[in-house]
């Protein structure tokens, strides 16, 4: 059976001077295989991933694996515990507004320099091992700099040191009010059909600060360097995903089982499980490129009835939302209808009816295509 | 037809020195009748009442009334506009924690003194008119005191001056995640069946700061004084209610129509409408006394799956909620089930999965009874 | 020498399910004497008391005491750790607005019932011991009630169980921007001159929820009951104070030494120290009754220059503050001066220049008198 | 005399659907001259700039100018009005954490394209006028895009459209607890000595989102393009500065006069005033390049006594701050001293004693040099 261990990583100290720590659950199979890293709740209000990890752990207590799986629930103990009113102010550091998911490290210079040190004869295993060491040394440097680092960045770098060891990185998130969707790097498009997630966003090799990018941008860039240097395809088989599993601020043990099974289907296809029969569902999946994943902002302030539920199909000109204007209730300006600027699928919407102008009302798939398994 | 007017009441100034104002919509019937006062959103995140008022205004543009109806949507422009994260921090003043619905005025001394001035021969109309004047003079005194008053209290008193003129006061609220319920003073129990609301809380003549209490406690106390003084029943036919119409942070135009019709049924029964056919629905209504409306607090912190939906019937010992403990995911302490301490109906629950110890998890009806129309 | 011990009291669990605990530092003298309880930072942003306790501990490591001194710094680990922007939102529970210093327990019924059980022959020591047991049993009941308790109340009651054992209770606070002042129960007025604090507020036997009141109201009420029952003065020599030692959000080790010495002077006079020479300073102290400690609220919103520093003497009509109105900068309404409504000493003012209408601008001593030592 | 006008710019709508607007005060001289744009309080808690503008307006009512001066106090009515606790949460949008001073527009592509259209014969006036039109058209495009824009960006772009017309842009800020300092683009280093500000940060032609950069990066880039294209120096004489005038959350009319005079000295030197005798003070000014303006982050959480006041000179190894650890008060870990990693001048420090690990404790000048007037 798998070998299990649990330990804690200190990621911060609070204003009482006390350590804030993150639990690391580890399962090691008796056979070799990929290393997997799964974390949840880097945004403190996005708690459903903790339930998914709970279900994964129940399964992994019984199911033999190849390789190693590290699970890190509640990976941001600061964000989880910032309440403002009844809700959790967990998307950003309440002190300075820094998004908790934007302080990971990516340095194309480092990749370039490292690529110089690779010899055509070097084995893939050796390259991966050396590159991981180089990265971790860099992160160590930053963590130990004389002048220190900001809280979000410290947290991110400590998690990244764990994650960069893995061949598969899965970061579990939720949207505000949201349907299931997944961010997939374009080179790993085929893997999108291994999850039971109907909405897929394909992202390019551009770093915007998140953990999935901080993982795959390094390997992707290194692949491209070496492929071009040796004029032959080089692939490191490292994949990283951000899974958005529904809405923030709620958990459901039932829904969590669905997502655990979805992840197990992917892991099975990747050779992480031994004699398991988890298979991806036969289902409709649609995909967009990142530039076709659009944010619709409000032009006006007011109180919103969100008419189009996440995951529905909306035609150009159909109503997305209806805004109430409390100062004009007796006349025709009492309500205003916001219409879809083109055919789209709303993926998520703002979680409060009360909005100022310039609020992210909806995020939408536009120009989406059906994804064919194995494409 | 009804005569319509709209004006604005300045209730505060913001930190830019600008007036914050509340819209007053007024319909005056051509025939005499009761005065009605309806306000919404004293708690800034409880926005559905604004939609109900929207529907009421649409109806009142067409439907002749007796007497006068004043509608005050968005009656707390401060609370509505305090965002903290994506949600609205609208239940209390973000500066000092003062609940926006606890600064209304009630002074039993004033009632006693006023009762002394009433003569057995004085007409009810005269007593009501003089009592209203006395109250408004008191409120004026407070609003104009040399040392000033706190923001919440200023807001409350300015609204109370409008409301105290009315024979019927309806304060529109929402719960966190909630089913419909209504607070009814015990003496007006018969009116509970005139609304289409399945859950009724009967409250005694005790002032806890809210608008409904600030209205009926005065009249109830005066009634009791005079009844006892003259040894005969005295009744002023003033009623006040707090309606909780579902969950905060969301609006629905469809649901709002239901509640508008419910209020119109009550108003019709009270003689406010002319030739209208709004009738209360034939439905099951259950009631509790206030001391049987219980709050269940958490003993532990963690992440909660709310298993019992608001409005459901739960037997003693059945599961209400299941809490995830992120530090114990591999063992039997991974989850804990919170059970109903007695037979109950959960009416509302906390709106976030993430809770500290001592959180109001559920508010529940216990020892509830079926309400018979006309009882 | 004194015997020292340290332990931790769990007062809450956070949303990660982790215990939040409070350190208890205890010094026990070799001789008998009063029991002393000192806590700090029940309001999370009022942190200077922690420094005072630091200095007291340094002294008590060397200075022999009679009796026992318990010191509880950082007694509210929830409040201390709620940041909102750069500041600490520590005065109230960010979830529901509950002031962290208003959930202590006082039940005049319990006192009355207990008074019935006292016999004229019973020794003071026996009465005190039995009364403490009765109180702690009551608090235990509440802490263990089936339906649970709110977070602030749980925290308060757990601290109160510790504090109620003491003969001397000192609760260390800070004002917003503030000069030193102290709340003293009227019956202990003579003790006011034993601290080196220039401003004294004398408070009556009325419970408003704070720890000092929750302590002395019980003993004071019991004294009065028994004095009246036996027609002779009964005194339990229990005293409780709230010390406000300057401004919130800052600490100073130098200022903390001053306040530590001030407390040691009081403790020395009360027989808590052995062979110590701490004496109260010869200084001017002024006092007001609680009803003469006035709050001045703003009538307008705007940006405030606080002209009168805390602790200064201001004559009626002199300027307290000047408010800027950003919409009228070119005309004579650009600024407005707020004047003292009577002769007064500003004790504290609001800590931000930006105010809405209805803000607590200043708290002021009016009709103050000079306090004579030993009066 | 100058011609005065006042108008309002709508920059947002709040959740009540009401317009939030910014006052524009304009003085037009009878003679031609530079256009000046001065705004304050883009960060809502940094309010002292409003006082400076108040003093400038008092002066400009009497003092003839050449050209035009537009003053925009309270330029962020959203940020000014977000209270969280007693303080103002004004540095970032409370909904999503977006810094209010990072959404201005800079597009090097646009500059490159525009440079192509410039002919060697074109007059500077014509180039400037055409470039301004091109920029404003771009900003218009963005403000009117189908999918809308975020609130902070809308606010920033509306202000930038006003500011881009000016030859001189001054953005008035405050630090947390801070001494006076100013950000100056390297090419305008000579102007640093025209203000009465002792600490100068010289910044390169790199855009990080702020208004000063959004102004000078465009002109600087264009200058460089054209200088290189025509192989001769081209200069547009546009300057932009961020002035940090002391601490946030407070105003002082006296201090504001000092800064108004400082700005008038600069404007006088730039030919904006007619027959005025405002001269820069003869004072010590020190400067650093941006990379030598260092942030010192805490490694630990705790309660901080800030020992080194902003503006003081601190030698390597000297104490900057002392942190109290409430769990170790009886032993040698009770306090920890944070020392200067090199010779430095602390410019500002965190405004609260309570800090988590990873807090920006101090920002410091290192490797600073004395600035010689006219250098």
Sign of CA pseudo-dihedral C341, C342, C348, C353: positive
Query: In terms of DSSP H, where are the helices of D231-365?
Result: 253-269
- Please state the rounded mean pLDDT for residues A45-63: 98
Q: B61-116 pLDDT, tens per residue?
A: 999 999 999 999 999 999 999 998 999 999 999 999 999 999 999 999 999 999 99
Q: Determine contact, residues B145/C296, Cβ cutoff 8 Å.
A: no
C331 touches chain B (CB under 8 A): no
The residue behind tokens 């649609």 is: A286
Q: D127-171 pLDDT, tens per residue?
A: 999 999 999 999 999 999 999 999 999 999 999 999 999 999 999
What is the C-alpha to C-alpha distance for residues B93 and B81, in angstroms, rounded to an integer? Answer: 11
Mutation to test the B interface, candidates A48, A71, A252, A354, most B Cβ within 10 Å: A354
C41 touches chain A (CB under 8 A): no
D359 touches chain A (CB under 8 A): yes
Q: Which residues of B touch C85 (CB under 8 A)?
A: none
- Please state the rounded mean pLDDT for residues D199-210: 96
Q: Cβ contact (<8 Å) for D83 and B15?
A: yes
For residue D213 the two structure tokens come to 């950069």
- Please state the rounded mean pLDDT for residues A160-168: 97
D74 touches chain B (CB under 8 A): yes
Strand order through the sheet with B335-339: B335-339, B319-324, B302-306, B354-355
A16 touches chain D (CB under 8 A): yes
Q: C203-221 pLDDT, tens per residue?
A: 999 999 999 999 999 999 9
Query: In terms of DSSP H, where are the helices of chain A?
Result: 48-60, 77-80, 108-117, 124-143, 151-163, 211-230, 253-269
Three-state secondary-structure class, residue A66: strand
Residue B22, pLDDT above cutoff 90: yes
What is the C-alpha to C-alpha distance for residues D171 and D168, in angstroms, rounded to an integer? Answer: 10
Nearest 5°: the CA angle B265, B269, B270 is 115
B374 pLDDT band, cuts 50/70/90, is: low
Q: Which residues of C touch B146 (CB under 8 A)?
A: 341
Q: What is the pLDDT of residue C1?
A: 85
Q: Cβ contact (<8 Å) for C351 and D87?
A: yes
Residue D375, pLDDT above cutoff 70: no
In DSSP notation, A206-261 reads ---S-HHHHHHHHHHHHHHHHHHHHTS------EEEEEEEEETT---HHHHHHHHH
Mutation to test the C interface, candidates D22, D87, D172, most C Cβ within 10 Å: D87
- Please state the rounded mean pLDDT for residues B168-180: 98
Q: Cβ contact (<8 Å) for B329 and A53?
A: yes
Comparing CB atoms, the residue among B14, B83, B95 nearest residue D95 is: B83
Residue A374, pLDDT above cutoff 90: no
Mutation to test the D interface, candidates B75, B83, B152, most D Cβ within 10 Å: B83
Q: Which residues lie below 8 Å from residue D198, measured CB to CB, with a gap of 6+?
A: D179, D180, D181, D283, D284, D285, D286, D311
Radius of gyration (C-alpha) of chain D in whole angstroms: 22
Q: What is the pLDDT of residue C374?
A: 52
- Please state the rounded mean pLDDT for residues D357-371: 98
Q: What is the pLDDT of residue D298?
A: 97
Distance from CA of D57 to the nearest CA of B (A): 18
B78 touches chain C (CB under 8 A): yes
What is the C-alpha to C-alpha distance for residues A9 and A13, in angstroms, rounded to an integer? Answer: 12
Q: How many CB pairs under 8 A join A and C?
A: 41
Q: Cβ contact (<8 Å) for A16 and C77?
A: yes
Residue B125, pLDDT above cutoff 50: yes
Residue C375, pLDDT above cutoff 60: no
For chain A, give the mean pLDDT.
96
Nearest Cα neighbor of C209 from C201, C221, C217, C220 is C217
For residue C357 the two structure tokens come to 């209408």
Comparing CB atoms, the residue among B15, B296, B354 nearest residue C148 is: B296
Q: Which residues lie below 8 Å from residue C32, measured CB to CB, with a gap of 6+?
A: C66, C67
Subunits with at least 3 CB pairs below 8 A relative to chain C?
A: A, B, D
Segment 142-161 of chain A within 8 Å of chain D by CB: 146-155
B6 touches chain A (CB under 8 A): yes
Q: What is the pLDDT of residue A373?
A: 62
Q: B194-218 pLDDT, tens per residue?
A: 999 999 999 999 999 999 999 999 9
Q: What is the pLDDT of residue A84?
A: 87
- Please state the rounded mean pLDDT for residues A350-364: 98
Q: What is the pLDDT of residue A11?
A: 97
Q: Cβ contact (<8 Å) for A329 and B353?
A: no
What's the half-sphere exposure (Cβ side, CA atoms, 13 Å) at C305?
19
Residue B268 CA, chain-centre distance (Å), reads: 20
What is the C-alpha to C-alpha distance for residues C347 and C310, in angstroms, rounded to an integer? Answer: 5
D1 pLDDT band, cuts 50/70/90, is: confident
Q: Which residues of C touch D22 (CB under 8 A)?
A: none
Distance from CA of C326 to the nearest CA of B (A): 7
End-to-end CA distance of chain D: 35
Subunits with at least 3 CB pairs below 8 A relative to chain A?
A: B, C, D
For residue C141 the two structure tokens come to 């009941």
Domains and CATH numbers, chain D: 3-283 (3.40.630.10), 293-365 (2.40.50.100)
Q: D8-36 pLDDT, tens per residue?
A: 999 999 999 999 999 999 999 999 999 99
Q: What is the pLDDT of residue A72?
A: 98
Q: D41-60 pLDDT, tens per residue?
A: 999 999 999 999 999 999 99
The residue behind tokens 């020892």 is: B367
B356 touches chain A (CB under 8 A): yes
In DSSP notation, B312-336 reads --B-TTSEEEEEE-TT-TTSTTSEE
Comparing CB atoms, the residue among A14, A296, A300 nearest residue D13 is: A300
Q: A219-254 pLDDT, tens per residue?
A: 999 999 999 999 999 999 999 999 999 999 999 999
Distances (CA, A) of A247 to A48, A368, B124, D152: 8, 22, 56, 25
Q: Which residues of D touch C356 (CB under 8 A)?
A: 83
Segment 213-272 of chain C within 8 Å of chain D by CB: 249-253
Comparing CB atoms, the residue among A18, A74, A83 nearest residue C16 is: A74
B1 pLDDT band, cuts 50/70/90, is: confident
A300 touches chain D (CB under 8 A): yes
A279 touches chain B (CB under 8 A): no
What is the C-alpha to C-alpha distance for residues A334 and A302, in angstroms, rounded to an integer? Answer: 10
Q: Which residues of B touch A303 (CB under 8 A)?
A: 47, 50-51, 251
For chain D, give the mean pLDDT.
96
Comparing CB atoms, the residue among A51, A61, A305 nearest residue B251 is: A305
Query: C138: buried, middle or exposed (CB in 10 Å: 19+, 13-18, 0-12)?
Result: middle
Q: What is the pLDDT of residue D33?
A: 97
Q: Cβ contact (<8 Å) for C14 and A81?
A: yes
For chain C, give the mean pLDDT.
96
Q: Cβ contact (<8 Å) for D15 and B86?
A: no
Q: Which residues of A touch C80 (CB under 8 A)?
A: 14-16
Q: What is the pLDDT of residue C332?
A: 96
In DSSP notation, B80-112 reads HT-EETTEE--SB-TTT--BTTS-----HHHHH
What is the C-alpha to C-alpha distance for residues A222 and D183, in angstroms, rounded to an integer? Answer: 39
Residue A293, pLDDT above cutoff 50: yes
Segment 88-107 of chain A within 8 Å of chain B by CB: 88-91
Q: Cβ contact (<8 Å) for A50 and B326?
A: yes
Residue C373, pLDDT above cutoff 70: no
Q: Cβ contact (<8 Å) for A302 and D17?
A: yes
Q: What is the pLDDT of residue C84?
A: 87
Nearest Cα neighbor of C111 from C244, C264, C215, C258 is C215
Q: Which residues of D touch A78 (CB under 8 A)?
A: 356
Q: C259-310 pLDDT, tens per residue?
A: 999 999 999 999 999 999 999 999 999 999 999 999 999 999 999 999 999 9
Query: D173: buried, middle or exposed (CB in 10 Å: 19+, 13-18, 0-12)?
Result: buried
Q: Report the residue of chain C nearest B19, measured CA to CA.
A: C301
What is the C-alpha to C-alpha distance for residues B249 and B254, in angstroms, rounded to an integer? Answer: 16
Percent of chain C with pLDDT over 70: 99
Comparing CB atoms, the residue among C47, C305, C327 nearest residue D303 is: C47
Percent of chain A with pLDDT over 90: 98
Q: What is the pLDDT of residue C372?
A: 83
Q: Cβ contact (<8 Å) for C326 and D87?
A: no
Q: Determine contact, residues B94/B152, Cβ cutoff 8 Å.
A: no
- Please state the rounded mean pLDDT for residues B226-254: 95
D20 touches chain C (CB under 8 A): no
Distance from CA of D173 to the nearest CA of C (A): 15
- Please state the rounded mean pLDDT for residues B344-372: 97
């Amino acid at each position: 059976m798998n070998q299990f261990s649990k330990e804690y990583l200190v990621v911060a100290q609070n204003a009482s001077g006390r350590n804030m720590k993150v639990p690391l659950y580890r399962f090691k199979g008796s056979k070799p295989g990929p290393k997997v890293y799964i974390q949840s709740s880097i945004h403190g209000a996005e708690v459903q991933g903790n339930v998914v990890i709970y279900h994964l752990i129940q399964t992994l207590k019984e199911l033999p694996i190849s390789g190693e799986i590290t699970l890190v629930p509640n990976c941001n103990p600061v964000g989880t515990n910032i309440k403002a009113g009844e809700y959790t102010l967990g998307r950003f550091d309440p002190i300075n507004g820094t998004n908790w998911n934007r302080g990971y490290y990516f340095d194309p210079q480092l990749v370039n320099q490292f690529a110089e040190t690779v010899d055509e004869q070097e084995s893939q295993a050796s390259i991966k091992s050396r590159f991981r060491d180089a990265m971790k040394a860099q992160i160590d440097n930053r963590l130990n700099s004389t002048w220190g680092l900001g809280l979000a960045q410290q947290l991110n770098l400590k998690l990244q040191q764990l994650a960069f060891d893995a061949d598969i990185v899965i970061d579990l998130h939720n949207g505000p009010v949201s349907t299931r969707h997944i961010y997939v790097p374009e080179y790993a498009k085929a893997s999108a059909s291994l999850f039971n997630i109907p909405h897929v966003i394909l992202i390019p090799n551009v770093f915007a600060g998140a953990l999935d990018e901080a993982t795959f941008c390094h390997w992707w860039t290194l692949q491209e360097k070496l492929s071009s240097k040796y004029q032959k395809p080089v692939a490191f088989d490292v994949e990283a995903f951000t899974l958005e599993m529904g809405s923030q601020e709620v958990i459901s043990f039932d829904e969590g089982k669905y997502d655990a099974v979805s992840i197990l289907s992917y892991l099975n296809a990747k050779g992480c499980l031994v004699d398991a029969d988890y298979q991806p569902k036969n289902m409709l999946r649609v995909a967009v490129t990142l530039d076709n994943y659009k944010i619709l902002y409000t032009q006006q302030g007011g109180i919103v009835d969100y008419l189009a539920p996440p995951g529905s199909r909306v035609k150009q000109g159909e109503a997305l939302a209806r805004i109430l204007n409390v100062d004009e209730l007796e006349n025709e300006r009492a309500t205003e209808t916001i219409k879809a600027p083109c055919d789209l699928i709303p993926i998520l919407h703002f979680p409060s009816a009360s909005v100022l102008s310039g609020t992210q009302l909806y995020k939408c798939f536009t120009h989406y295509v059906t994804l064919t398994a194995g494409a």
